């Protein structure tokens, strides 16, 4: 929505256009999704393993869903709300770093 309005900055928006932009944007959906992501980002699970001495140890670690939620929150903050829906995660071929791909 902001991309379409920023292309014609020379002409100001009329009252009807301003009202349609405000009505058509639905922040509750985005806020609801972001709330779910924050809820999932703190999920942990307890893993048990046997160390070298034969002692059973337990550790608490993040679930895969929590790691994915944290990654999505980071991308959303970095790229903005509107562009997140068309962003995938990939790898830079030369440096092997995770990057966002539009």
Q: Quote the domain boundaries for residue 9.
A: 2-101
Predicted TM-score (pTM) of this structure: 0.43
Find out whether 61 and 47 touch, Cβ atoms under 8 Å: yes
> From first to last of its 102 residues, what are the pLDDT tens digits of the chain?
444 433 434 444 444 444 333 433 334 445 667 788 888 888 889 989 898 999 999 999 888 888 888 888 887 777 765 554 555 555 555 555 555 555
Number of domains the chain contains: 1
- Provide DSSP, 30-82: HHHHHHHHHHHTT-EEEEEEE-TTS-EEEEEEE-HHHHHHHHHHHHHHHH-ST
- Provide DSSP, 14-34: PHHHHHHHHHH--HHHHHHHH
């Amino acid at each position: 929505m902001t991309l379409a309005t920023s292309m014609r900055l020379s002409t100001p928006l009329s009252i009807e256009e301003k009202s349609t932009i405000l009505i058509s944007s639905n922040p509750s959906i985005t806020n609801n999704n972001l709330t779910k992501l924050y809820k999932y980002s703190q999920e942990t699970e307890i893993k048990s393993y046997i160390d070298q001495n034969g002692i059973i140890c337990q550790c608490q670690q993040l679930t895969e869903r929590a790691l994915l939620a944290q990654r999505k929150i980071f991308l959303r903050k970095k790229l903005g709300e509107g562009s997140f829906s068309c962003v995938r995660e990939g790898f830079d071929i030369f440096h092997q770093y995770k990057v966002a791909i539009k």
